[in-house]
Amino acid sequence: MEVFFQQLINGVTLGSIYGLIAIGYTMVFGIIGMVNFSHGDVFMVSTFIALIALMILTTWLGVGSILIALMIVLIVAMVFTSLVSWTIERVAYRPLRGSFRLAPLISAIGMSIVLSNFVQVAQGPRNKAIDPILNNVFVLSAAGGYQVTLSYKQIVIVVVTAALLAVFWWVVAKTPLGRAQRACEQDRKMAALLGVDVDRTISITFVMGAALAAVAGTLYLVYYGVVNFSDGFTPGVKAFTAAVLGGIGSLPGAVLGGLLIGLIEVFWSAYFSVEYKDVAAFSILAIVLIFMPQGILGRPDVEKV
């Protein structure tokens, strides 16, 4: 049981990171019906922005408090990552919004390749590492010679994910911006006729998704301590899988899907084979979609006549 509880903690931590990335996918798809395949690489860019900001603060400026440094890093990463995503939306997606459905998808794949190759050229292909931070742990159990531990950074990741989910759910459900987003999700043309600035609403949605990806990127850097230019593909695909599993268009569904993917991946690695952990996650997705095509918390599509 000690191994089970330790893997449960690890799975919830990993799933929280996936859930933060998945919210960006589900928000964009919910409004414009497009899979933003560059979102995973936006997440990867945010990890490098966080890495560079952390190095500047701790090495060059000599900031001694790691908590203050992390808060500044988080803000910097959110601002610059949001700027990157806003630029991508203006340059690569908005001109193609009225085109055939595959055009934005092809553009998204192209932007993903551009971001990945740019970071590879600018930062090099090698792993970039930082010194371990927030490594203090609570020992929850030590029965049978096996310690069940909960680290400070795992607590931070779970708490930040829960807080941001609550904040963004409130924004979407209770604010004028959220009403505009829900109106665009239902019918963009009618929303525009009723005075909603559709272009502005979509741009803000991309910025919100990128800000969450930046938080996920900073937490990913803190948790693993190593980043690479190729880190956008696998977490991005798994986060999109989480969004589909939880129900595309549902914010709680995105986080729930992320938690499930993280738990499946961790438990499969612990009890079966590490090599097949991705196979297990995608197999569960396929099984769920066979019986629940809209996802766990998704709403069934309504035919417009």
* Model pLDDT, residue 155: 92
303 confidence band (pLDDT: 50, 70, 90): low
Average confidence (pLDDT) over 191-208: 92
Average confidence (pLDDT) over 206-225: 93
* Model pLDDT, residue 301: 59
* Model pLDDT, residue 304: 52
* Model pLDDT, residue 201: 93
Q: What is the percent of the chain with per-residue pLDDT over 70, rounded to a whole number?
A: 97
300 φ/ψ angles, rounded to the nearest 5 degrees: -65, 145
For residue 231 the two structure tokens come to: 């880190």
- Asked if pLDDT for residue 305 goes beyond 60, the answer is no
- Asked if pLDDT for residue 144 goes beyond 80, the answer is no
Q: What is the percent of the chain with per-residue pLDDT over 90, rounded to a whole number?
A: 46
What letter would DSSP give residue 58?
I
* Model pLDDT, residue 302: 55
- Asked if pLDDT for residue 226 goes beyond 60, the answer is yes
Domain ranges of the chain: 1-291
Strand-pairing partners, residue 138, are 150
* Model pLDDT, residue 185: 85
* Model pLDDT, residue 11: 92
Helix (H, G, I), strand (E, B) or coil at 162: helix
What is the spatial distance between Cα 259 and Cα 271, in angstroms, rounded to a whole number? 18
Q: Which CATH number is correct for 1-291, 1.10.3470, 1.10.1660, 1.10.10, 1.10.8?
A: 1.10.3470
pLDDT, the chain, mean? 88
Is pLDDT larger for residue 231 or for residue 97?
231
Q: What is the DSSP string of 110-125?
A: HHHHHHHHHHHHHH-S
Is pLDDT larger for residue 72 or for residue 273?
72
* Model pLDDT, residue 58: 87
Query: Which of 227, 46, 55 is CA-nearest to residue 128?
Result: 227
Spacing of C-alpha 106 from chain mean position: 21
* Model pLDDT, residue 300: 63
Kindly tell me the burial class for residue 138, based on how many C-beta atoms sit within 10 Å of its own C-beta (0-12, 13-18, 19 or more): exposed
* Model pLDDT, residue 44: 95
Q: What is the DSSP string of 219-255?
A: HHHHHH-EE-GGGGHHHHHHHHHHHHHH-TT-HHHHH
